[in-house]
Structure 1
Amino acid sequence: MFNLERLRTLDALARHGSVSGAAEGLHVTTSAVSQQMAKLEREVGQQLLARNGRGVRLTDAGRLLAEHAARILSQVELAQSDLEARRGQVAGELRLGAFPTAARGLFPAALSRLRSGHPGLKVTTVEMEPASGVRAVLRGDVDLALVLDWYNKPLPVPEGLTRSPILDDPADVAMPAGHPHADRGEVDLEDFADDDWVTWGEAEFCDEWLLDTLRSKGVEPRIAHRAGEHATQLALVAAGLGVCVAPRLGRGPLPVGVRTVPVRQAVRRHVYAVWRADADRRPSIRAAADALRAAGEGLG
């Protein structure tokens, strides 16, 4: 009979494409991955890995067994979900991922709610960008991830995942206090056609959204600065170095010298929780989604 941990290691190797990637995804050392694979090869009596330059690749036998491993692990996940659902208890371990502003804006209240309501549940969290969160759920590295899309730019969610809405997050334009539009009640994005922009990292989902949206309004944005963290973007705005789109979730107090003005045609991010469909019946997943929605409602 196959050892599940060894099959899980093989599955991680197939998904990540490298020993180091599998080790990171499984939260073990590369040596542990190599040892598990050596034991699995002895168990099946066939070579599953072959050298490929400085790395490794799966042999034909390795790919065949990896396909079976993925199905076996999915069935194990379903069995665990059914048993949890039958027991009806929110307990065990749950791994959550979220993009930074959701981690800051939703995790503290949601995790406190889970701890007080379900003391038998152990929750661990990690920050990750939306696309990485989707991949992590697919790979099984996290059980649930918070991801986002924009009102006019949906985030593709692959088959096999369940998506559940958590909240809509309005966004404003942040500008220096001395900007000509700082005292207005509303603005349009195209009002800032002549301004320098502070945006996200190049080719990130939110950066692509901003460029596409401005160009759809006939504006070719002048990108002056890029920063992944909203706090850094706002610090650059406070220094008079440009304007930026500032979502409200996890934003915190504004730096001195920064004003935010709502956009006339509301600019919103949609925040979702995603998890594997074969884990859909796990009470812990449902409890986490409920706690995250309650945390979002508390922001209003």
Structure 2
Amino acid sequence: MLNLERLRTLDALARHGSVSKAAAGLHVTTSAVSQQMTKLEREVGQQLLAKNGRGVRLTDAGHLLAEHAGRILSQVELAQSDLEAQRGRAVGELRIAGFPTAARGLFPAALAALRADHPGLRVRSQEMEPEVGAAAVVRGDLDLAVVLDWYNKPLPVPEGLAKASLLDDPADVVVPADHPLAARAEIDLEELAEDDWICWPTGAYCSDWLLYTLRAKDIEPRVCHYAEEHHTQLAFVAAGLGVCITPRLGRGSLPEGVRVLPVRQGVRRHVYAVWRADADRRPSIRAAVAALQAAGEAVA
């Protein structure tokens, strides 16, 4: 009989395309992936992997079995969901991810509430960018992801996902304390056309949004510094190196030497949870969404 965990490893290899990425998706070592595949080849009596340069590729037999593995694992997941729904209790393991400020601003309260209310539920969480998290839910690497839309740039959500709103998160401009506009009660983005900017890394969803928004206002931003963490961006602002936009969720305390200015037109992110629609009946999903919504209400 085929081993389910080995089929899961083959499925991850087929979806991710490499041993290292499959290992990361499964949260195991690359050697563990190789060992599972060796055992699976022994079980089926056929070669499933072949060398491809420095990596590997699936053989024809590997592709054939991977297709079956995907269907088998989908049925197993559906069976687990039905059993959990029939039992009516949030138990087992739940894998979730959220973008960094959601992980900082929502997860501590939500996960503490889940642990207190559902002691039979084991939650594993990690930080993950919105588009990556949504794709991981579709692949089955995650059960739930917290993602976001900017008010003027929706995140493309793959088909087959259900979603629930958590909160609307305003964002403000942050400028050095000695900036000419620092004393203002609010500001228009157009007034910062000549400023240096501190921005998220190139290619990140929030970075694309900022460039899209400023260019829509005929501003070609002069981005001088890139930093993934908001606290790092704020440290650059405090040093007088430019301005940035910082959402309020997970912001925490501000460093000395900066001023926060609301944007007159209003800049906000819509934060929501996504999960596979075929897992909608799982009590653990419902419990997690409820806990995240409660945390979102407290923050808002």
Q: TM-score, normalised by structure 1?
A: 0.97
Aligned residue number for residue 29 of structure 2: 29
The answer (yes or no) to whether the contact 1:237–1:258 under 8 Å persists in 2 is: yes
Task: Give SS of 1:179's match.
Answer: coil
Aligned residue number for residue 76 of structure 1: 76
CA displacement 1:142-201 (0-9 Å, x = unmatched) = 211111120111111112222221111100100111222222222111110011111100
Structure 2 Cα separation of the partners of residues 121 and 162 of structure 1: 21
Give 5+ residue unaligned stretches, structure 1: none
Superposition pairs of residues 9-24 of structure 1, within 5 angstroms: 9-24=9-24
Structure 2 Cα separation of the partners of residues 86 and 201 of structure 1: 45
Superposition pairs of residues 141-156 of structure 1, within 5 angstroms: 141-156=141-156
What is the count of residue pairs matched by the alignment? 300
Structure 2 Cα separation of the partners of residues 59 and 133 of structure 1: 29
1:247 aligns with 2:247: yes
Q: Is 27-36 or 189-198 further displaced after alignment?
A: 27-36
Aligned residue number for residue 221 of structure 1: 221
CA displacement 1:208-254 (0-9 Å, x = unmatched) = 11111111101111111110000000011111111100100000111
Structure 1 Cα separation of the partners of residues 175 and 29 of structure 2: 46
Q: Which amino acid is 1:271 matched to?
A: V
Q: Which amino acid is 1:219 matched to?
A: I
Q: Is 210-219 or 157-166 further displaced after alignment?
A: 157-166
Aligned residue number for residue 53 of structure 2: 53
Task: Give SS of 1:259's match.
Answer: strand
Structure 2 Cα separation of the partners of residues 102 and 52 of structure 1: 39
Superposition pairs of residues 77-156 of structure 1, within 5 angstroms: 77-156=77-156
Task: Give SS of 1:266's match.
Answer: coil
Superposition pairs of residues 134-283 of structure 1, within 5 angstroms: 134-283=134-283
Task: Give SS of 1:147's match.
Answer: strand
Q: Is 39-48 or 142-151 further displaced after alignment?
A: 39-48
The answer (yes or no) to whether the contact 2:81–2:282 under 8 Å persists in 1 is: yes
Q: Which amino acid is 1:165 matched to?
A: S
Q: Which amino acid is 1:66 matched to?
A: A
Identity, % of aligned positions: 75
Structure 1 Cα separation of the partners of residues 162 and 71 of structure 2: 18
Q: Is 10-19 or 40-49 further displaced after alignment?
A: 40-49
Deviation at 1:47, TM superposition (A): 1.7
Q: TM-score, normalised by structure 2?
A: 0.97
The answer (yes or no) to whether the contact 1:74–1:278 under 8 Å persists in 2 is: no
Q: Which amino acid is 2:45 matched to?
A: G
Aligned residue number for residue 295 of structure 2: 295
After superposition, the CA RMSD in angstroms is: 1.2
Q: Which amino acid is 1:102 matched to?
A: A
Deviation at 1:53, TM superposition (A): 1.0
Task: Give SS of 2:106's match.
Answer: helix
CA displacement 1:47-100 (0-9 Å, x = unmatched) = 211111111101112112111111111111111111111110011111111111
The answer (yes or no) to whether the contact 1:173–1:246 under 8 Å persists in 2 is: yes
The answer (yes or no) to whether the contact 2:174–2:259 under 8 Å persists in 1 is: yes
Structure 1 Cα separation of the partners of residues 39 and 292 of structure 2: 41
Structure 2 Cα separation of the partners of residues 102 and 27 of structure 1: 22
Task: Give SS of 2:264's match.
Answer: strand
